[in-house]
Structure 1
């Protein structure tokens, strides 16, 4: 954990996931101010739109933060990379595509580079290209997912065994137990998205937050398998529409139109759950409170510490003192 925190200039080993077009400097700055790494996602936004978010972010915090650039969906990739450099963004997170051609550019400007991967093969390539750390994202995660469908539990230890740079676990983590489990698997920190939706600093629609708090263990669903666009969302009326459309053999372009970032904004920001979707990871069923980001981080650190103390005591009492 210390290696990760020193690398990113943060206090706690917690990274905010990129939230694309619904990225908010309000939430991201709260994450950074609480000691984690807040993140602004570029999604399909224009360079000018992202620049406005960065300017607000820099007004709200002087602490480290990241810019997530999803390579395959960013409309002006060159312009977005140049924007990150122009604003001296401390950390760039690259996802949804091959990061190798872009890593040297950011390294030349002394920026830290995170690569989000879902396989050992891709993690190795990112490390060879100069990545500073790997986020291993399991199939439990919200939003766009890898078609490989590896779970966090199986992915993380394999990544740790195959790369020398720090590995951060993403997907299915949102409390002290998940954090402790990720550390046991060899991760040096965790990335969270869904859990941060239900925090006091969250700027998202109350219907989104309510739906998250009401979610059960089966409260999310995968859509898009039939068209090669795997995405995990919360179960809503609009999710039912997506499932029905797939069942009738929807064309990939039509499905993409039904799941574009505008539809996400409609659900997450406007709260129109009949007309737009809301992302949600499998951690949703465990989210039952709305703490501040600082309270969440403190609970996760203290809770994980207590878990390990209890485990050590039980191991000593039950096995090592016989």
Structure 2
């Protein structure tokens, strides 16, 4: 069995990324029921709001799912981790902060811990702190991102070489080719966010899904470079206005307010591109349809197998090495 699947008790090595306050029990359950690992993103929600989503998810699936806690983003980190323990959530994903402070307590309650990192240094520290799985996220990813700007293609093999626990590739993965490529780089699986937005089960505004279907390869933009708090979103009037304010010098507090979950919801849930933003990774450019989650996952697994089979076959032909027979 795939090492990641064994550790997380799932069928397929595909994890759904946390999606902040727009996280949906319907999507989480669909991913888990299809054999992957669905994830409830806590964002900045209160423990009471998160608990409702945990309960709703449990009513829709008997399969393992995860709770993503963005350590330095949520004002309720300790309470949410206690909630995970109380509700017996099988997996907790820790991002946007130092996960090592919390792993021992979660392990004491038999909870598997995923640490989301953006560099080799942080991957090593997370493994030393006891993380069961490392998600290495490249700069292609959607939403809050690292200002280190390391790409998935360069980050994954370096992290794989540095740690012994399963490594998951995140950022720039949206189909079977990306899954196969991740395997070739040494990853044990992938984590996807944007691609799962464009599925039938994700209850975001239709405008958001249509924007992903229509997206080109240059449809996303980075906000926050000028203040070191970067976020990748779809191009939009709201994003353009933020970039214009950055160009003349935006205050940190103003930027944080205007990229808060309030404006994420306005864009993603309400479809208001003038008054809010829509997170998106660069993978948006390859999205062409809105399948069910189960169809997407099965298709990815089949396509990845075909890609790997072709690669193995081609490596034994002279044409790969440029040799003329």
TM-score, normalization by structure 2: 0.97
Match of 1:11 in 2: 11
1:151 alignment counterpart: 151
The offset of 1:73, in angstroms, is 1.1
Q: Does 2:312 match 1:312?
A: yes
Q: Superposition pairs for residues 50-89 of structure 1, below 5 Å? A: 50-89=50-89
Find the aligned partners of 2:92 and 2:240 in 1 and give their Cα distance: 35
CA-to-partner distance for each residue in 1:181-227, whole Å, 9 max, x for gaps? 11110000000000001111111100000111111000000010111
Aligned counterparts of 1:161 and 1:200: Cα–Cα separation in 2? 37
Q: Distance in 2 between matches of 1:171 and 1:268?
A: 19
The CA deviation string for residues 149-190 of structure 1, in whole angstroms up to 9 with x for no partner, is 100000000000000000000000000111111111000000
Q: Which residue of 1 aligns with 2:22?
A: 22
CA distance in 2, matches of 1:308, 1:36: 20
Which aligned segments of 4 or more residues in structure 1 are displaced greater than 6 angstroms? Answer: 319-322
Per-residue CA deviations over 1:96-128 (Å, capped at 9, x if unaligned) read: 001111011101111100000001111111101
In the alignment, what sits opposite 2:112? 112
Distance 2:96 2:45 in 1: 15
Aligned residue for 1:202? Answer: 202
5 Å matches for 1:1-322?
2-318=2-318
- Provide the TM-score with structure 1 as the length reference: 0.98
CA shift for structure 1 position 23:
0.5
Q: Give the whole-Å Cα distance in 1 for the aligned partners of 2:268 and 2:301.
A: 29
CA RMSD, aligned part only? 1.2
Provide the secondary structure at the position in 2 that maps to 1:149.
coil
1:270 is displaced (CA, Å) by: 0.7
CA displacement at 1:132 relative to structure 2: 0.1
- C-alpha distance in 1 between matches for 2:72 and 2:167: 23
| SS of equivalent to 1:147 | coil
Question: Equivalents in 1 of 2:76, 2:203: separation in Å?
Answer: 27
3-state secondary structure, aligned to 1:264: helix
Q: Which is further off, 162-171 or 175-184? A: 175-184
175-184 or 303-312: bigger deviation:
303-312
Structure 1 residue 46: Cα displacement: 0.3
Could you list the per-position Cα deviations for residues 67-97 of structure 1 after superposition, in whole angstroms to 9, with x for gaps in the alignment? 0000001112211110000000000000000
Distance 1:86 1:207 in 2: 37
Shift of 1:317: 2.9
Greater CA deviation, 308-317 or 29-38?
308-317
Describe the superposition over 1:38-92 as per-residue Cα deviations: whole angstroms up to 9, x where unpaired. 0001110000000000000000101000000000011122111100000000000
Q: Which residues of structure 2 form unaligned runs of 5+?
A: none
